[in-house]
Amino acid sequence: MSSSDYHCRVAVFGATGLVGRTMLKVLEERNFPVTDIVPIASARSAGQAVQFKGQDYIIQVPSKEAFQGVDIALFSAGATASKQWAAVAAAEGAVVIDNSSAFRMDPDVPLVVPEVNPGDIFKEDGTPEHIIANPNCSTIQMVVVLKPLHDLFGVKRVVVSTYQSVTGKGKVGRDALESELAGEKQDEYTHFHQIAFNAVPQIDMFTENGYTKEEMKMVNETRKIMGDDTLSISPTTVRIPVYGGHGESLNIELAKDFDIDQVRDLLAASPGIILQDDPSARIYPMPLTSYERDEVFVGRIRRDYWHPQTLNMWIVADNLRKGAATNAVQIAEVVNTKRK
């Protein structure tokens, strides 16, 4: 069968959410070889329709029957739903690409960023794993940048501070900011505190070690994706009042010395990265830069003034796209290379 004749049936579980809708959009934009779309969501959305390539598709509730005949199932309905339905979909023959936290640290489930570890998608016999986990949004954009640096210089330690948009919490996060900006009374703050005109240094709940769950995701997921448990990652995650695009300030200690121009050339030539690094002309990444884009934008590259073999940089990516939907679709594209 030629690639032009190849098509597959794709389910999108969580099709009415921000990430689910973005998945549908990315599938269409990237001309993924879809023969049929199966949108799935909770019972309150059943009977509604979503559009794909100009056609309406009726939303189904999750069931064994809904996953029958599905080749690839993109999950973005939360960890509880994934734990309940991923195995069901996989048993029906689908390759499940899960955007929740349900399986990320499961040693039997690959955690994949296609620019970093695409080989982890497949078993030893060359067939794709039944369930593949999509990493946390803040982890994805960081490892895209760390990978080429680690390959050439060796990464020893990363200090990362994130500036994460409200859409990282989905539609409820965006709606909370809009409600606050409209001056509506808040019975409870979605982002723990007022987010309008503010910055909240807490994403998810705190753990016993003083770090939040979001911060520990960055530590554990990065080590798993990079295949290196010796990596030292020290994160602080912060929510800011922008609608889309996560920013990250990285301080990266390398095992070997480097030349700044060499670093710029390396990153500019690496897959999934766009270099925007001309501070004298006020050219550097911003959340608006990344809007509706699939790449990780990198700038403000400079040597750490006080620490040898250490550099600083600023990176930004669209959290709904590369941080979630696009990465999942890219995994599906790699899966399809073995199906054709």
Stated as kind and residue range, the H or E segment containing 11 is strand 8-13
190-200 as b/e: b if 16+ CB within 10 A: bbeeebbeeeb
* Annotated catalytic residue within 7, 130, 137, 307: 137
Are 41 and 66 within 8 A, CB to CB?
no
116: Cβ–Cβ under 8 A, 6 or more apart, which residues?
143, 144, 147, 225, 226
Instruction: Report residue 95 as tokens.
Output: 């390759």
Can you tell me the distance from the alpha carbon of 8 to that of 290, in angstroms, rounded to the nearest whole number?
Answer: 30
The yes-or-no answer on residue 246 being catalytic is: yes
Q: What is the C-alpha R_g of the chain?
A: 20
Can you tell me the distance from the alpha carbon of 67 to that of 126, in angstroms, rounded to the nearest whole number?
Answer: 23
Are 328 and 73 within 8 A, CB to CB?
no
Are 254 and 309 within 8 A, CB to CB?
yes
* Annotated catalytic residue within 8, 150, 191, 246: 246
Active site members: 137, 246
